[in-house]
Every structure is written in C-alpha cells, then in structure tokens.
Structure 1
Amino acid sequence: MKKFKNIMDKAGFLTTILLLIFQSCSSSNDSSDGGSDNPAPSNLTIQVEVVGKTAANPDGDGSGKVNLKINAANAVSYKVLIDNQLKEITNGELTYTFTGSGTKTYSIIVSAYNGSGQFISSTSSVNVYVARKILWADEFDVDGAPNTSKWGYNTGTGDGWGNNELEYYTTRPENVIISNGTLKIKAIKEEYMGSHYTSTRMLTKGKFSFKYGRAEVRAKLPVGGGTWPAFWMLGDNIDTAPWPACGEVDILESVGNNPNVNHSSLHSPGRSGNTPDTKTTTVPNSATEFHIYAAEWSAESIKFYVDDNLFYTYANSASTPFNANFFLILNLAMGGNFGGTVDPNFTNATFEVDYVRVYN
C-alpha cells in the first residue's frame, strides 16, 4: 500500500568482504615455504559433483544439492565461499544445497590453509538447477473463517494506516469469509464505529515470513470507484525499523477509479510515499476473471509479473531493505490517498482470492 505508516552489493560486494575475511585469518597470503616442518599448501584441486546430473539433466535433478571434494598438499583446513556463504571444513568434503529456484551459475572460491595460516586459493563454478517448491500456501479450500494459524488481522479505522482511508477493518464474517473455494474480502458501505465503510486487512506477521523466492496471488478484483485492493509485503523488522526503513513490496495494487491497471511498487527510505520505484501494466477483465499477480525476489532483483508476463524489474542491492524476511498482507481499502473518491452509489464490493502461494 502506498505511503504506509504507523504499523508494523550485490553478491560481488559480499564476496569482496568474505575474501578479506579469508586473508585476515591468515598470518600471510604468501604461499612460499613456511619451513621444512610446516610447508605452504600447494596443488589445490576442487571437484564438484551435481547430484542427479545426467545427460538428460546436465544441471542436476532439481534438488540443488552439490558435493565438493577439495584437496591440497600440506593443507589442514579449508574455507569455502559458496552462494555468498562462508563454510569452514577440515576434511575436504562439503555438501551444500542451493535454494534459489531455476538454473543458475554459481562461483565457488576455496582457500586451503596449513597450520601456520599460509594459504592458496582457487575458484571454480557450477551450473545448478533447483526445482520450484512451495514454502507456504493457503488454498482457501475450507469454508468459514480464514485459518488462524496462517493469518492474523489489523483492525481499526482507516485513518490509522497513514493513507486517509475511510474503512474500519474488522474480522467479522460479513467482511471476510471463505466459501466455495475462495477467500472473499468484502467492503461494505455502512456506519460502523464512527467509519462509513467496513472491510478486512489480514496478514501473516508473526506466523510466516520469508527471504527471497516467489510470492503470488490468484485473484479477481472488486468493482467501484474508491475501492483499493492489495497484495503486498512488509519487512518483519517493522516493530524496530518503522516504515519505510523496514521496506515495502507492493505486488498487486489496483483502484476502482482506474480499473484494469495493476501497480507494483517498492517503498524504502528516501523512496517512499510517491515512490519512483513503480510500474503499471494493463490487466484486461481484472474484475470478471482471475489473474495471477506475482513477484520473484532475489538479492539481485525483484521481478513483477501478471499471468507470468514480466512488466517490471527492480535492481536490488545490499543497500536496500529488501534482503531480510518479509510477511504477507491482503486487504481491501476504501478511498484514501490512492483509492480516491468513493462512488456515491457504492454499496459493497468483493476482493476474491483463489490462493496465495510462496515458492523458494
């Protein structure tokens, strides 16, 4: 949601830092002879086996698992920089599992040390395929209230969210219910607790969060001027790093005053409110047909899709908040800074969700 308040580089940079760690742990980076009793390491070899690799599957079986065998003369320990993680081993064998889905090329940097801290280093690379796996999902296939082990709620007046919204968020079945295989968040024009509209805002804070992967929702959007449905994410650290320091990722935002247009945006320090990090795409029949709205998130980028059509790529980096755990939010706001003027003839509207899924 735009201008949220009051609630809740890259690999090369890290590689450089870790290489400094390699060197700082050594009394010398000179591979010359350290004396007849403790000669310097030499003849470093790295063997990388991709589990499940065959002629038909040259990048592995999708498990993402690799086995390393490392050997060097006169070495007593090894340090391995793999997938931006530093591993220390003594026996020359390491099993590692990559988790980012897809086929990628990874660099592996190995240093072999003798007992005096002298070392030699070598670099290898490997292509690995990781199959997409679901980390968390709600299919909304059990009628009644949403699953409380997966979802909590924000409740209260819309003016508490920093957007001048007009609704009062409740947990009532009138505003949120699962029926016939879909979640229905309903905005209603009614007098309630001093507000003129009611709706629901549900979130996974304290129940589920993740770092990197793909988050997607299959949804059908509400109709009516002033409606503002959204599927988005906030940083898990919002209680200690208030917005926008925690970061915000808006995957689906649409407004009834400009139907069939999806906004995907990112908010961060110095780039909040009317953020420049935003793009739109046309989504025909968004209120009469289900569409899939998704973001694929990594240390290098955040890519936004509708029905698997890429329309916006944000360049992520170590300087952004988008490298920590985030939780999910579904809500339907009314009016406000982004939702705009509510149609005077509005009575109610429904944001219908088939599923929410998070993949590795």
Structure 2
Amino acid sequence: MKVFINFTALVGIFLLLSCSSIDRNSGEGTVTKPSNFLISAAIVGGNAQNPNGNGSGTVNFSISATNATSYKILLGNGETKELTNGNFTYTYTTSGTNTYVIYVSAYNSGQFVSSTLSLTVFVGSSLVWSDEFNVDGAPDSAKWGCDLGSGGWGNNESQYYTNRPENVIVQDGLLKIKTLKESFSGSNYTSARILTKDKFSFKYGRVEINAKLPAGGGTWPALWMLGSNISSAGWPACGEIDIMEHVGNSLNKVHGSLHSPGRSGNTPDTSTVMVPDATTEFHIYAVDWSATSIKFYVDNQLFYTFTNTASFPFNQDFFLIINCAMGGNFGGTINPGFTSSTFEIDYVRVYN
C-alpha cells in the first residue's frame, strides 16, 4: 500500500492498494476479485497553506477498482454510502478540524477488497438561520408558527396556548412569552408556544439561544426541538432534543435531555446543571449536534455529552420550539399565588 499527497488547487490524498486477481471457478462462471484499488479524496479549497480545506467541509471522492461492481464507504462520522459509481461529493458538517477514518470496500459479487483512509477536514462555522427579534410586534410569520389550544399537550399541563399579544410579542429587541393566571376557554392559565415546523428545519449543527427564564412555582419554560417526521412517525419515534428545560419548583436547575423510543417520558437521556441566576440574568443555552454526539452547554460550558448513533432518531431534520407550560407531569404543583411571568429570548441562532 502506498499513499501519495499532491498539493494542487485541491488537496488530493491518494491511496493505492495493489491486489492480485483471484478467480473462483464455479463450473459455469468466474467471479473475479476486484484489483487495482484506487481511492482519491480531494478536500475542496485545500492547498499548502490550508491543507484541511477552505472551511466548506466538502470532499470530492473518486474510488475505482478493476472488476468492481459496487462500493461501500463508511465516512467516519456515522454515515455510510453504497454506490455503483465511485465518484461522489460529500460535505462534512461538524465545525472545527476533525479527522475521519474512512473505510472503503469494492465488491464484485461475493469477492471484495477493503482499505482505510485517514482524512482531516476543516469546517468553518457559519450562520445558517437566526432570529434576532429586532422588529416589534408578532413573531415573524415567515419563521414561526403558533400552536394553539389546551388539553394538557400530553403532559397534563394547565395552560391554554394563544397567539395573542398578551401572551407572545416581540418588544424592545426581545421575544417575550408571557404566562398569565386568567380564565380563558376553560383553562386557568394562558401562555404561548411558537415553532419553526414547516418553515425551517435542519440536520446537525450548533444552536445558540440567549434567554432569561421565567420564575414561579409551576412554570416550565423550554427551548427544544422535534423531528420533522413527527406527523408520520409520532412521538417519541421522531426524537426530541431539549436544549434547555427549567422547572420553577426547582429554581435554577437546568435540564438538557433527549427522548427516543424506550427513553421517553420519565426515563430520558438527561443531565442537569445549576445556573444560579437563571431567572434574573440572560444566559446562552446551546447544543452541538452531530452524527456521533450531542453536547449541551450553558455559557459555552459543557455539562452533558450524549453519544449519538444510527440507532437513535437524531439523524434527520429537526425543527425548533420555544414555549412556557404551566404545571403538568414535569412542571409540578402551581403556586396558588402565581399571577404572571415572562420568558425573554434575545436571539436564536443556528450554525452549520
């Protein structure tokens, strides 16, 4: 096996594997093992000064072998390609400089040859979607919709979600979700739940949300995501990523959680961190999401890492949700003296 590196307009990493052909006679036909195995992985924008690429994360692959009829490529990040043509382009999305061990096999019926290639790729972080909440009035309808109604929302909650300005408004550079104690359409509390379903969804990346949480026993604010296939797959098969949840009855205890089949309801994959002034100061709640991990942060401090694999539903498009519930299975007992609270969000930003 020989490895050659040639710096041109692209960085090419060539792996040559010489294999002798082996014929297997079965009486009526011959299956020949692939030979002259060649793998080329050219990182877009790579040169002597930037050997790991220009930050796009894009790699042009060219794979060939004499007598091969198909190829299988494990891309080192949990994703797999199965192709009949070995020429394809793939874009890595995990920000930073990461090294991937790529496994490649060339097949001809039951005969095959395999090898590995180590590839280091730089992915620059770029903003792909955001809302800075700088225009007063209702939330931007091009970005957000509203869930409306009551009925407990699967958690025996007590609020009625509305789209009234009394409950949800952009004002003074902030999104404000106001939870009120009032009689409304059969419920004793009102609040709001906005979401990007059918307007924006994404697969993998970093989400940052700068927010100040509401106070009061029974409040249950959340910054979270659901799989875009929820209408067909249902919950929890669609997957749920809770970037931040806070329960007013456990002041300043912030939860980062994931729900999936067998790990839903009261048994999610979860961890917590104490944020001493969560209801009086703004903090950045963030998640870094890739095919191999989901990492939870507060103010850039990592507090939970979940190992993601293809067996979980966290490898598809998700949409964003912001809401404040009252009571329910997680929010708990509502303080009888509660009258109102405000959940304030300065911005939501999604990076590749």
**Fold match by TM threshold 0.5:** yes
Q: Take 1:224 and 1:248, find their aligned partners in 2: how far apart are those partners?
A: 25
Q: Which residue matches 1:14? A: none
Q: CA deviation at 1:76?
A: 7.4
User: In the TM superposition, what whole-angstrom CA distance separates every residue of 1:58-99 from its partner, at most 9, and x where no partner exists?
Assistant: 322211122345565x46776362533426475x75443322
Q: Take 1:230 and 1:172, find their aligned partners in 2: how far apart are those partners?
A: 19
Structure 2 counterpart SS, 1:215: strand
Instruction: Give the structure with the larger strand fraction.
Output: 2
The answer as to 2:308 corresponding to 1:313 is no
Q: Identify the match of residue 96 of structure 1 among 57, 78, 90.
A: 90
The answer as to 2:94 corresponding to 1:127 is no
Q: Take 2:182 and 2:84, find their aligned partners in 1: how far apart are those partners?
A: 65
User: In the TM superposition, what whole-angstrom CA distance separates every residue of 1:220-258 from its partner, at most 9, and x where no partner exists?
Assistant: 111222211101112222222222222222111112222
User: In the TM superposition, what whole-angstrom CA distance separates every residue of 1:299-343 from its partner, at most 9, and x where no partner exists?
Assistant: 222111111111111222222222222221100111222222222
Are residues 120 and 341 of structure 1, via their aligned partners in 2, closer, same or farther at CA, if it must alter by over 3 Å? closer
Amino acid at match of 2:94: G
Amino acid at match of 1:244: P
Contact conserved, 1:211 with 1:325, CA < 8 A, in 2?
yes
Q: Take 2:185 and 2:81, find their aligned partners in 1: how far apart are those partners?
A: 54
Are residues 71 and 235 of structure 1, via their aligned partners in 2, closer, same or farther at CA, if it must alter by over 3 Å? closer
Contact conserved, 2:69 with 2:84, CA < 8 A, in 1?
yes
Contact conserved, 1:136 with 1:358, CA < 8 A, in 2?
yes
Are residues 85 and 135 of structure 1, via their aligned partners in 2, closer, same or farther at CA, if it must alter by over 3 Å? farther
Structure 2 counterpart SS, 1:156: coil
Q: CA deviation at 1:274?
A: 1.2
Q: CA deviation at 1:207?
A: 1.6
- Write out aligned runs for 1:59-78 (5 A): 59-70=52-63, 74=66
Provide structure 2 residue ranges, at least 5 long, that are not aligned to the other structure. 1-18, 26-30
Q: Which residue matches 1:16? A: none
Q: Identify the match of residue 213 of structure 1 among 205, 208, 221.
A: 205
Q: Take 1:273 and 1:112, find their aligned partners in 2: how far apart are those partners?
A: 44
Q: Identify the match of residue 287 of structure 1 among 273, 279, 283.
A: 279
Q: Which residue matches 2:22? A: 32
Instruction: Give the structure with the larger helix fraction.
Output: 1
Q: Take 1:298 and 1:242, find their aligned partners in 2: how far apart are those partners?
A: 22
Contact conserved, 1:109 with 1:124, CA < 8 A, in 2?
yes
User: In the TM superposition, what whole-angstrom CA distance separates every residue of 1:182-202 from its partner, at most 9, and x where no partner exists?
Assistant: 100001111111111111011
User: In the TM superposition, what whole-angstrom CA distance separates every residue of 1:88-139 from its partner, at most 9, and x where no partner exists?
Assistant: 475x75443322322222233445578x996544322210011112232211
CA RMSD, aligned part only?
Answer: 2.8
Q: Take 1:76 and 1:316, find their aligned partners in 2: how far apart are those partners?
A: 33
Q: Take 2:279 and 2:100, find their aligned partners in 1: how far apart are those partners?
A: 42
User: In the TM superposition, what whole-angstrom CA distance separates every residue of 1:258-284 from its partner, at most 9, and x where no partner exists?
Assistant: 221101112222222212521110112
The answer as to 2:147 corresponding to 1:161 is no
Q: Which residue matches 2:141? A: 148
Contact conserved, 1:212 with 1:297, CA < 8 A, in 2?
yes
Q: Take 2:205 and 2:191, find their aligned partners in 1: how far apart are those partners?
A: 29
Q: Take 1:234 and 1:40, find their aligned partners in 2: how far apart are those partners?
A: 46
Provide structure 1 residue ranges, at least 5 long, that are not aligned to the other structure. 1-28
Amino acid at match of 1:140: F
Q: Which residue matches 2:11? A: none
Q: Take 2:35 and 2:241, find their aligned partners in 1: how far apart are those partners?
A: 49
Q: Normalising by the residue count of structure 2, what TM-score does the alignment of the two structures yield?
A: 0.83
Are residues 94 and 278 of structure 1, via their aligned partners in 2, closer, same or farther at CA, if it must alter by over 3 Å? closer
Q: Which residue matches 2:265? A: 273
Q: Which residue matches 1:183? A: 175
Are residues 284 and 56 of structure 1, via their aligned partners in 2, closer, same or farther at CA, if it must alter by over 3 Å? farther
Q: Which structure carries more relative contact order (alpha carbon 8 Å, separation 6+)? A: 1
